Every structure is written in C-alpha cells, then in structure tokens.
C-alpha cells in the first residue's frame, strides 16, 4: 500500500522537543515521500470530532508551517489529557460518563483519507495507540514522550534534559541565597513516580540531599546531614525533592487533624519535608516549587536533536510499512521497538544503581 | 581625619549585585587609598558580638578575597534580618525580648579601630545607619539595596534587573505550556508593597494581566479578559501576580471558614487569584510561585555595573569624608543623597503613570 | 486631520527590541485608535517600489501578526542599509549611480493612502526622516535604534542591553579558559565610533583592560598590566576591545609591507592588538570576535520594555499629530524630542567621565 | 597495596566538566577511602619540576578546595599542552630541543609518596599515560576528555554538550539577523578532525548547510541550496562550518598568489567558505567564529553529571587496584576500558550514518 496521507498528533503533558518531532516528521514526509500530512488538534480530540477546534482544529501542514518551530517549547498541535477514545468523558443525563468512541475515531480517520498515524505521547498515549491497533486501526507508529524519562524502552526521552537544566539553573541560584542567609533551601521538582529529574539535577547542582519516590526518606537523616554540615562550617544546605517522594513511616503531622487534613491536601512534597525538617533543626527552611517552568521554553540541543531524530525515524517507519513500532534511543542509535513491548515498561531509579552510588560517594543524603 | 580602616557589611535579604559592590569598594579602597577593609559578617551581627562566626566571622579583605566575586549572586559577607542593634532579640528569663545594643556596637567599632563604615542594605538598613549616626557613630556611607526597586531616592537598585529577567524567562517558558494546553498560567513574583517586578516582567513577557499591590484587582475583570481572549481564538492567558496584590473587596472565600482559614494562611496571592478565577472560567488554572530563584544567580550586566559603580562611589565618599550620604543612580549618573532624605522615600507603581498606561494600551488587564 | 492609516518601517542594522516596538505600535494603533497599519518591507525599499518583495513585501498588520513577536530578535519587517531615498543606488549605463527617488516615495505614500509613518532606525534613518519632512512628507514620528547606544538624545536605546549581556556572558566563559591555560584572552565587541558596549561589558565582566574608540591605546600599557598581574600570581588577563579602537601612534606593523597590507585589511582590532601585544609578553594571546551574535536573540527584559514603551509612545504622538518628533528615554520617562534636534547628537564615552573613572579605580587598564 | 596518596592532573585543552571530575574524585577519595589527594599543577609540569608554580603549584586538596567548583568551567589545576614527559621542550645551547624527562617524573612521583595517579585528558594524555605504564609507573587510571567527542572508546565525553549548547544558542541568535537582513550567516565551530559539534549544533539549530571535516564540500552545492531557498521565499540561510572542513577539490583562491598566501594562513574555514560562496551568490555572507567561548562557562547538567560519574568511578578503580584502565560511558553505564585499547580509537562522523541521514531528510546540505 502506498502511503499518501499521514496524520500526526501529540498527547499528554507538553514537553520541550515535541515541535522538533513534528517538524522532522513533516519535512521528511514531504521531502522524502511527497506525503500530505495532517496536523490533528489536541491529540485524539481532532479525530473524535472533525469539527473540533481549540484554537485551530486539524490542518494540513506545509514546510512553512513547521519552519523554525524547533526552537519553541510546547506543541503547535495542542495536546489534551482528556482524549482517550476508549474512555472519553461525555455528559449524559446531567452526569459525566466515560464512553468508547473508537468507532467514531476510526470512521473519521477513513473520512480524512489517512493512511497512517504518528502518535507522539507518553505511556498512556502508547497504550491507546496499541489499543487502536488491536481494534483494527493498524497503521500507527509511536514516538515516546515523557519529561520524567521513566520509559524503559528508550535510554532517554526528549524534554528530560531541558527540564533538568531548568532545575539545575534554579539550584545554582538557590545556592547563593542559601549561603548568604544560612538557610536550608528545598526545591521541589517534577517526578511523581520516577526520580530521574531530581537525581540528575541534584547531582548536577551539587545538592546535599536528594529525595526520590524510589527511596522513602527519614527526616532525621536529612536533619543529621544539615547538622553535620553546620558543624563543619557550612550552615546551609540544598535539598532536592521529587514531588512523589514519601517519608519512610508514612505521612504524619504534628498539627491538629483539621489543619493537617488541609495541609496534606494543599501541600506538596517540598513543603511537607520542610515542615517536618523544621522540627529537627534551627536553620530557616525555604521551599521553591519549580512547577511548570520545567515543561516549557526552548528545548536544549540534546532534546532538539533527539526529537528531530525521533520524528525523522518515525516517518521512515511509516514509509516502510513498519507499523505497531515505537522509535527509541539505544546508546547512540535510534531503533524501532514493538509498541506492545514498550507499553508499561516503566523505568525507575535503582536505589542500588550507579547514579545513586555516585551520589552517596559524594556525600549526598538520600534520606 | 585620615581614613585607614573601613568596615563593610550587607544587611537585609540578599540580592544579585551585592558582591560587585563589595568588590568595587574593596578594590577602590585598597588601590586608591591604601585602606585596610574589614568584612563584617552577617550585617550588625559581626559588630554586636566580635566572636560572632557563622560561618566565617569578620575578616580583613584583600584583593584576592574579592577576585571574580562579581559573577556570584548572594553576598560573601553573609546577611541577616535579625541584627538591628536598636531592637536586638535576646533571650531573657526564657523569653525573647528586644534590647538596644548600640553601645556595644559602638564600642566594638572603636575596638576594631574602624574609621568608617559602608552599610549596604534596604530601607531598614539605611534607617539603622541614620540612627547610628544620630547616636554618634557618624562615619557611615550607605549603599541602597532592594530587589523590589521601591526606593524613591534612586532610579534603580541592583538586583531588580536580574530578578525581572528570571521572571521574564519563566513567563517565556510558561507561555509554551499555556498555549499547548489551553490554560491560564499564573506566575507569582516578588513584591509585597511595590509591583515593579510584576510590571516590568509582565510587560517584558507580554502578560495578559498584571496584578499589582498598588491596584486592587477584581477577579471578574480578569475572567472577562480570559473569556475575550478565548473567544478571539486564544484559549490561554498569562497572569503575573505580585505577592502583595489584593482583591478590590477584601479577601473572601467560598470555602467553609475552617478550610478558608488554613487556605488564607497557607496560600499566596497566586493561589488565591487562581482559586477565585477558577470559579468564573472553565479553563484550567495553574500557579507557579517563583520564590527565591528571583534572588540568586549571577547578576545581569546592568546589576553588576550598577553595583560596581555604587561600591566605588561609596569608597570615594568615605575618602572625601562625606558621611551620612547614600549613593544613588539618577539618570546616567551616580550621585550622593543625604541618608536622612533617602530613608522612607518609598516608591510605588503609579496607577496613572506611563508604564501602566503602556500596559493598558497593549490590552493588559490590571484587574 | 483624522489618522486612519499608518505605515511602519525598520531601517539600518537589526537590533533586539525592534519587534517589541512594532508590536506595541500596532497594538496601540489598532486597540486605542482603530488604525490600519501597514508594515513596510525593508525600510524605504517598500516605499520606493510598491512591488518590492523580499521576502514578504508590504502588508497590513493585525494583532495576530504581532502576537508573541516581542520574544524574537530581528525585525519581522526586514531592514536594509541601502534604501536611502535621497541616495538610492541604481544601475545606469552599466554603472551604479546614486539618485534621488524621494518623489516616488512620496507618491507611493499617497497611493497607499497613508496618513503618517513611524520610522524606526539609527541616526541615518532619523536624518532621512527629517529630510522627508523637509521635503513635504511631514507626518513622521521617529523611534531611535542603535545597538551602540551612541545617540545623545536618549539615555538608552534598546538592543544595547542585550548586546552587552551577550558580551558579558562571553567574557564569563573566556575567563575560565584564560585561567586554566595562563592566557591573555582578547574579545572584540561591537562599537566603531562609540565604546559603550566594551565599557559596560568590560566592567560587568571584570575585564583587566578595556580598549575604546575614544581612548587611543598604547600596547606597552596593556603589556605592563599583563606583566604585573602575572607577577602577582595571576598569569591570565581579559582584554575587551571595541572594534573601533586605535593605537596611540597610528597603526604600524613589524611585518613586511606586503603581508602587513593584507593583515591590516583582513584583521580586526582584536587581532591587531593581539599581534602587537604578543611582541611584548610571553603569554599566549587568543582572540574571540563576537560579531553578529551580539545583534540577535531574544531581547532582554530591559530592551523588550524599552521597545514596547517606545512603540506605544510613538503611536500616541501620531494620534496627537505631534509629527517631527522622536521618542526618547530620559531618566525613567519616555519623552518626545524634536527630530531636528536629535539628529547628529552623537554620544561618546567620556574619557574623564564616571564610568571610565570607575574602571580606573578597579585597576582596569584603558591602554 | 593499600592506597594512601593519589595524584590528580588535567591535560590538554580545557573543557567544561573538568572541575566536576576533580571534585568527585577528591570527595570520593577522601570520604570513601581516606586518601590524601595531591592536585598536580598544569598536567605533568607539576611532576617534571616539583618547584613548578604557575600560578599555584601542586597542593593537597581538601573537600573545601573542591566545594562548588562543579559550577565552574576550566580546571582549578591548570592545564598545559606542553608537558609531555617523553617529548619535553627544553632549551639547550640556545635552541629548543625535545627530551625525555620521564625518569624525573617517576622519581618525583615517588618523592611525593604517591601511590596512584588519575590522569584526565584527551587522546594525547591517554597515550602518555599508557607510555608511563609501559615504563613502569603503572598505577594510573585515565579519565577521557575531548570537547570534540571524538574518542571511540566512550559514547560521550563531557564538555561536548556544553560546547554544542553554546553553538546552538549562537545559531539561534544569528537566525534573527539572517532573516532581518536577507543574509547567509556562516558560523565556524570547533572540530579539526571530527565534525560532531557542527553536526549536533547544526541539527539542533536547524542549519541549512553543515560542513564537516568528514565530507569535503563543493561550494556549488551550498550555492544551489541558498538559491533554492531564496526562490522559495526564504532569502537567508545558516551554514555551520567545522574548523577542519575542506573543499572537494583542494583549496584554491581567485586572489593573486601573494594575498592568497596570507589569506590561507590567516583565514579559517568559515572565512574561506564565505569567500568562495560570495562568488556564486548575490546575498551578503557574514562569518562568525565562535572560538574559545565554546570551551568555557558553567558546564551543562549533562556534562556536570558525566564528569562527576567519571571522577567517582576513577577513584573506585584506583581503590580496587584496577590500573591501566580508563572510565567510559556506554549507554547509561560507566564502565572501565583498557587504556591500551582506548588510545587511538578515534571516532568520526559517519557520512552514511543515522545522524547525517537525518540531516539529509531535513533538507540539510552537507556540501
């Protein structure tokens, strides 16, 4: 079957490097293969409803449309976390219910005359892509995206390096203030289930403690580290906190239950660690939550090149009819891996691995 | 009186540009005048107690000590918010009480053989300097420091430009995510009483709303702006929020009183605006609190040069015996202004001034 | 006369901050006054020839056209150094001759139905604007642009701060290498006639020598400084060189006349200083010429806000019929100044001024 | 044999990431093994002459000495290209001759009581290390360093990512100017024999041509690309030039032989390509030579972490007595490789490899 029309979409949270993927796939598709390429708006939203438009709607992409977009964060196609065609939220009788709208997606795919689809997204998007294949919409190729770098099937995902650089720059800034004021500065970074951002940024920034989702922390250990540093003439410390880290004994609070309830709901990991730590040490503790600035901005050279290589490789897979594959980085090479195998291969920081060992050798407290 | 020994100290919150001031004063003092210069630790702490040491203690500064420190944020002398010699907190009978320890400061000043003092700090530090002069420790010259740029006696203070650049970079990053996800991104920046950081960063970043301490906001106005933008095909907005901004009718909450109590205590202005705004619009609201990353990091060229010019000018004032003065920037020139006149000349954003008018011309909502 | 249609153009070398000017003028014109605004391509090229198109040609600008352009360097309107309507180069009989095409410009201005023109450019562009006024095309308002900051009529021009920041960042990088290798690193920055970039970046970067067009250098003085630093245990130095700096005794060379001829033509100031210096010292000299990277890239917050304020103010001047004016920054205020007065008011570094004195106090060698 | 005293040195050109290696090796050595660690000045200079001191001389390193040095480019130990103990230049009878001073090195090594040596450097340094081993100074472990990333034994070397990021940032800046002025901007980057920096930065920056040492260029091909882009409405192009690239037919010049001789000596690859290209196209060509700013500055997070991991791993190899090894990155792991095998394994850009193919798919001209 000759490919003529290819759709491309981005799903899940945005990530620096998405636009380089889109640009590379579009340029390769047009220049190498003469395809028409449809940019589908807000992940599956543009396939569930062909009239969907927020703010653009689906559109045919030309080389001009993707010119210079590789320097921009975000995604020109928009993205959505609420476009799973197998569990699509609609209002019925005044209530929101989740329904299966895959048949509509498949019909629209055919209506648009699409021969294949490039789906760029996280583990959830890859799972949906595989489900589409299983249900007969087979001509799909995946491009992995996770800012947390927690996908086992690829060495790195784009966005991670940029996020870590933002966090590293922030740690460099906080160190100045920590030293000037004799403070403990806590910086909360992204990472609900995997602590790679915290670990990489913590090592790069020379943090004195790094708290990961993979290692439950004991606040006493952190307090000991802070105290030892103080006694050694360094009355300041930097603590990097993954948003998903948890204390060893479960979450407790010295506040009354009512306030505590509010706190536990409202506070993130950074504030919780700070509150607990404050009870053990005399130094001032301050928390910075980096939040969404880790997700945006111009991608680093690493993320631009990785995104470009992924996008180009995805186009070639389509051209060769190698569907059901996902592109991945292994060592220095881009390789295809089966979507089926890739889905669900979550990667976690190994508490006994090289990187954590390096941290321990440097005196980093992991809680 | 020939000056031979000069003390230098930094007070209040740290700020990019303090080290360039120290470097310039030390190099000018040593090279031009052959002084011995004592770096006093943690503002007046090092004068209140000559044995004070956290982590360094007072020390004589050489050219080598200040080599290349101009590229570093923070202050090599440390700083403290708790060193007011006229209201110094000490423990007496198990309670903290504030006492006047100025006589001790003056005695220590003489013991150290100091002929003059360069005091770098904010409005509070300048007030204390003036009090010292009034009480007979006359040989003081001030260097103004406020990251908020809210001192009327000088056009600009160092640190402000760096803080604004950090905030502008953050807005640039958040815009990508806002566009990709159709979100309202709120970014809380420093500024309890003066909104200059929010105004400058908001204009630089192309924010769609800027909320200042000087203009009470109505959440309905922001919601209208967001809605209009959405209807014009731009379902995303950036709102810059000064930490000191307040709603027009005072703070209310739709939550029950208990939770509200916790919220009002725990939440900053950004989260409060987001909570209120969420009740008026359907788009997702996300808050980023920049916090301390605005205070640290290598100073911008503007702040390095301004700090350098301030430090050099302060040394010359000392040499000329022009005590009781503070250095200030007026247009392109560094000029001395009387400390007495400078203290308390708070500067605020003028709601009818040029900068706010420029914002309004660009369609910025000020609430 | 009611203004309905306004043209806008950018002339001379590009400069970070042009796009903020365009954006602010367009948004103010459309939102506040309901104008139609024509973007004129490549300065007067688009008025000399209405069919001119490289690559875009003239176009009516909407709010959408200027959305988010404030983060981009360069100018969306293009620019040209060869569009002086009073000396326009055309081919005649196989030779290039300069002719006066102003009548054509005026006729085209009328054909387009333009009521007024915003001309953004350097001293040359302001001079041309004044000539246009003198010849009867009166409704012009100027916006000053010079990356060198060498216009006397305004405290600062946009682009300067960004260029200085690029140069300062480069100096920070070169210092690392200089220290590691015991080298003299020379960095050549922009500034043919005025040395403000070199002076500001040199002070910000802590350079050990700063060579300006305004002060002829003696290479022996630089060699002495390098030697003194070496003897003091600092066998490395940073020298910032304005491209327009010259040696005190005129340019000489120890090379044979033939090679020297080529060198003088091919070499810039940085290489010439390095060649001369190498004959006096034993340390390795390396030159970096920053060149065009000083002109591009996202503008700093200062330049974005200054450009925005200039563009908005220019639109208001047009609306009020205050033609023949140029906007300018004086202290904290944007003010109009007469174009006639502004033209030719070149600003130069004052060798006896505060900034040079500050450098000398810090031990900087000015040659 | 129990290790007690370890020397550490850095050789060859400096590179962002050297200080993280030193810091990690020192901290691991002191904290994990209780070693005394001698910082040896300027590579072998400090071992050839124990009185060598420029500017520091050898010194015992404490944790305090390496505190926060990971954020700094360069090397706190200094480096030298002229310290090969097997070919050491000395003056004899008024002439410089190269002599073998290894015996002195070995004697000094013993005098200092050193049990082992960590040698950080490029291929040349690794070769020297192997020679030392062959001559009986066996207890050496190597850490590879090459900013060009041209060592076959490791996937990446530190410094490369930072250098590429500097080049990518420069390309981003140059694009603005290129577009505004309808120009061809050429940017010369490091890479005498290997074009990895040009290739990675060119792909990251979206360059339209990338000229590598590994592919001889035909200037006509570049001119065709520029012309095609111009005809497609994009009268500007970015060309990234490795310093080591060469034209397909050898170097020729249209200048007379005398001038040409000077030019070929004085000009770098960027200027040569620009000169040749100017004869084929009408657009203005401008060259920027990035030079040493690629070598300095704070290392990227990638380079800091890679340096840290290398330094820590080297210390562990020493502790385990695994001498004659070099640390290397393979995929995600740090592994030891035999120095003997590692030396001389030069890596080059594969003209038929994935990365070049990706460029071609994107329409990049490789000359």
Return left, alpha or beta for A80; rule: phi > 0 is left, psi -120 to 50 is alpha, else beta.
beta
Which residue of C72, C355, C362, C365 is the best one to mutate when testing the B interface, meaning the one whose CB has the most B CBs within 10 A? C362
Q: How does strand A209-211 pair with strand D59-61? A: unpaired
Kindly determine whether residue B173 and residue A73, on different chains, have CB atoms separated by under 8 Å.
yes
Kindly determine whether residue A262 and residue B262, on different chains, have CB atoms separated by under 8 Å.
yes
**SS3 string of C317-330?**
HHHCCCCCEEEEEE
Nearest to B8 by CA among B341, B310, B295, B297: B310
Q: How far is CA A196 from CA A15, A156, A214, in A?
A: 15, 11, 10
In chain C, what's the furthest Cα-to-Cα distance?
72
Q: What is the pLDDT of residues B63-88, one digit of tens each?
A: 999 999 999 999 999 998 888 999 99
Query: What does the block give as tokens for C209?
Result: 């020598």
Helix, strand, coil % in chain C, rounded to nearest 5: 40, 20, 40
Kindly state whether C254 is in contact with chain B, defined as any CB-CB distance less than 8 angstroms: no
Q: What is the pLDDT of residues C276-332, one digit of tens each?
A: 999 999 889 999 999 999 999 999 999 999 999 999 999 999 999 999 999 999 999
Considering CB atoms only, which of C74, C78, C293 is closest to D288? C293
What's the confidence (pLDDT) of residue D256? Answer: 47
Q: How does strand C237-242 pair with strand D209-211? A: unpaired
Q: Spell out the domains of chain D, with CATH numbers in brackets.
A: 5-158+299-342 (3.40.50.450), 162-295 (3.40.50.460)
Residues in chain A with CB shorter than 8 Å from the CB of D68 are: 175, 206
Task: Quote the CA–CA distance of C249 and D15 in Å, as a whole number.
Answer: 39
Q: Which residues does D177 contact at the CB level (< 8 Å), separation at least 6?
A: C14, C73, C74, C292, C295, C296, D183, D185
Neighbours of chain B (3+ CB pairs under 8 A): A, C
Complex prediction ipTM? 0.94
Find the mean pLDDT for residues C252-266: 51
Find the mean pLDDT for residues C204-216: 98
Query: What does the block give as tokens for D164?
Result: 């590429």
> Residue B256's pLDDT band (boundaries 50, 70, 90)?
very low
Task: Quote the CA–CA distance of B329 and B339 in Å, as a whole number.
Answer: 14
The distance of C352 to chain D (nearest Cα, Å) reads: 32
Kindly determine whether residue B362 and residue C334, on different chains, have CB atoms separated by under 8 Å.
no
What's the confidence (pLDDT) of residue A263? Answer: 47
Residue B279: half-sphere exposure toward Cβ, Cα within 13 Å: 11
What residues of chain B, 126 to 185, have a C-beta less than 8 Å from chain A? 166, 169-170, 172-177, 179-182, 185
Catalytic residue among B42, B84, B123, B148: B148
Q: What is the pLDDT of residues D78-126, one digit of tens each?
A: 998 888 999 999 999 889 999 999 999 999 999 999 999 999 999 999 9
Catalytic status, residue A148:
yes
> Is the pLDDT score of C114 beyond 90?
yes
Kindly determine whether residue D358 and residue A71, on different chains, have CB atoms separated by under 8 Å.
no
Find the mean pLDDT for residues B17-28: 98
> Residue C84's pLDDT band (boundaries 50, 70, 90)?
very high
Instruction: Measure the CA dihedral B127/B132/B138/B144, to 10°.
Output: -30
Q: Which residues does C281 contact at the CB level (< 8 Å), separation at least 6?
A: C184, C223, C226, C227
Q: Which residues does C155 contact at the CB level (< 8 Å), separation at least 6?
A: B331, B332, C328, C329, C330, C331
Which residues on adjacent β-strands are paired with residue D92?
D95
The fraction of chain A above a pLDDT of 90, given in percent, is: 88
What residues of chain C, 312 to 331, have a C-beta less than 8 Å from chain D? none
Exposure string of B7-36, with b = 16+ CB inside 10 Å and e = fewer, is bbbbbbbbbbbbbbbbbbbbbbbbebbebb
The distance of A320 to chain B (nearest Cα, Å) reads: 31
Kindly state whether B75 is in contact with chain A, defined as any CB-CB distance less than 8 angstroms: yes
> Residue C265's pLDDT band (boundaries 50, 70, 90)?
low
> Is the pLDDT score of B253 beyond 70?
no
E strand residue ranges, C219-332: 237-242, 284-289, 325-330
Nearest to A311 by CA among A131, A77, A81: A77
Kindly state whether B293 is in contact with chain A, defined as any CB-CB distance less than 8 angstroms: yes
> Is the pLDDT score of C256 beyond 50?
no
What's the confidence (pLDDT) of residue A49? Answer: 94
Instruction: Return the residue matching tokens 């091919």.
Output: C266
Nearest to D17 by CA among D273, D298, D225, D240: D298
pTM: predicted TM-score of the whole model, two decimal places: 0.95
A166-169: list long-range contacts, CB under 8 Å, 24+ apart: A166/A290, A166/A293, A166/A294, A166/A297, A166/B173, A167/A197, A167/A198, A167/A201, A167/A205, A167/A240, A167/A290, A167/A294, A167/D301, A168/A201, A168/A204, A168/A205, A168/D301, A168/D304, A169/B297
> Is the pLDDT score of B263 beyond 70?
no
Residues in chain D with CB shorter than 8 Å from the CB of A28 are: 361-362
> Is the pLDDT score of B257 beyond 50?
no
Q: How does strand B95-99 pair with strand B88-92? A: antiparallel
Task: Quote the CA–CA distance of D237 and C226 in Å, as a whole number.
Answer: 41
Low-confidence ranges of chain D (pLDDT < 70): 251-266
Task: Quote the CA–CA distance of D361 and D363 in Å, as a whole number.
Answer: 5
DSSP string, D120-183: EE-HHHHHHHHHHHHTT---EEEEE--TT--BTTSS--TTHHHHHHHHHHHHHHHHHHHHHHTE
Instruction: Return the residue matching tokens 């919409």.
Output: A137
Kindly state whether D16 is in contact with chain C, defined as any CB-CB distance less than 8 angstroms: yes
Residues in chain B with CB shorter than 8 Å from the CB of C171 are: none
Q: What is the pLDDT of residues A131-187, one digit of tens each?
A: 999 999 999 999 999 999 999 999 999 999 999 999 999 999 999 999 998 999 999
CB-CB contact of A160 with A196 (8 Å) = yes
CB-CB contact of C132 with C103 (8 Å) = no
Query: What does the block give as tokens for C253?
Result: 């060379």
Nearest to C42 by CA among A68, D231, D182: D182
Averaged confidence pLDDT in chain B: 94
> Residue C56's pLDDT band (boundaries 50, 70, 90)?
confident
Query: Is there a cis peptide before residue C21, judged by omega within 30 degrees of 0?
Result: no
CB-CB contact of D207 with D364 (8 Å) = yes
Q: What is the pLDDT of residues B304-331, one digit of tens each?
A: 999 999 999 999 999 999 999 999 999 9
Please provide the distance, in angstroms rounded to a whole number, between the alpha carbons at the two ends of chain B. 57
> Residue A251's pLDDT band (boundaries 50, 70, 90)?
low
Task: Quote the CA–CA distance of C242 and C147 in Å, as a whole number.
Answer: 13
A45 in helix, strand or coil?
Answer: helix
Query: What does the block give as tokens for C49?
Result: 């020839």
The distance of B321 to chain A (nearest Cα, Å) reads: 30
B307 in helix, strand or coil?
Answer: helix
What's the confidence (pLDDT) of residue A256? Answer: 47
Scanning every residue of chain D, which has its alpha carbon at the shortest distance from the alpha carbon of A315? Answer: D361
Kindly state whether C340 is in contact with chain D, defined as any CB-CB distance less than 8 angstroms: no
């Amino acid at each position: 079957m000759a490919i003529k029309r290819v759709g491309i979409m981005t799903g899940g949270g945005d990530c620096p490097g998405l636009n380089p993927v889109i640009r590379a796939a579009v340029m390769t598709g047009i220049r190498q293969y003469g395809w028409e390429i449809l940019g589908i708006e807000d992940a599956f939203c543009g396939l569930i409803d062909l009239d969907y438009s927020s703010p653009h709607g689906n559109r045919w992409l030309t080389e001009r449309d993707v010119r210079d977009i590789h320097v921009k964060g975000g995604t020109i196609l928009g993205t959505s976390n609420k476009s799973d065609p197998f569990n699509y939220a609609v209002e019925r009788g005044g209530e929101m219910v989740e329904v299966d709208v895959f048949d509509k997606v498949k019909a629209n795919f055919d209506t648009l005359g699409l021969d294949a689809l490039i789906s760029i997204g996280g583990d959830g998007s890859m799972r949906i892509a595989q489900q589409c294949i299983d249900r007969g919409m087979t001509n799909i190729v995946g491009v992995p995206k996770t800012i947390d770098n927690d996908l086992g099937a690829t060495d790195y995902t784009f966005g991670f390096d940029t996020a870590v650089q933002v966090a590293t720059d922030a740690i460099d800034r906080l160190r100045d203030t920590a030293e000037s004021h004799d403070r403990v500065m806590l910086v909360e970074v992204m990472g609900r289930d995997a602590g790679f951002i915290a670990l990489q940024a913590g090592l790069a920034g020379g943090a004195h403690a790094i708290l990961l989702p993979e290692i439950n922390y004991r606040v006493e250990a952190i307090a000991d580290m802070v105290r030892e540093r103080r006694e050694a003439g360094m009355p300041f410390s930097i603590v990097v906190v993954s948003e998903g880290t948890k204390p060893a004994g479960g979450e407790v609070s010295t506040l009354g239950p009512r306030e505590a309830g509010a706190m536990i709901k409202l506070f993130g990991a950074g504030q919780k660690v700070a509150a607990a730590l404050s009870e053990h040490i005399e130094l001032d503790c301050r928390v910075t939550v980096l939040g969404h600035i880790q997700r945006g901005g111009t991608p680093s050279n690493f993320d631009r090149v990785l995104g470009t290589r992924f996008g180009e490789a995805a186009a070639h897979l389509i051209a060769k009819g190698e569907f059901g594959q996902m592109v991945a980085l292994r060592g220095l090479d881009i390789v295809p891996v089966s979507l089926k195998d890739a889905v669900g291969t979550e990667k976690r920081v190994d508490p006994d691995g090289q990187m954590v060992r390096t941290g321990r050798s440097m005196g980093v407290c992991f809680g």
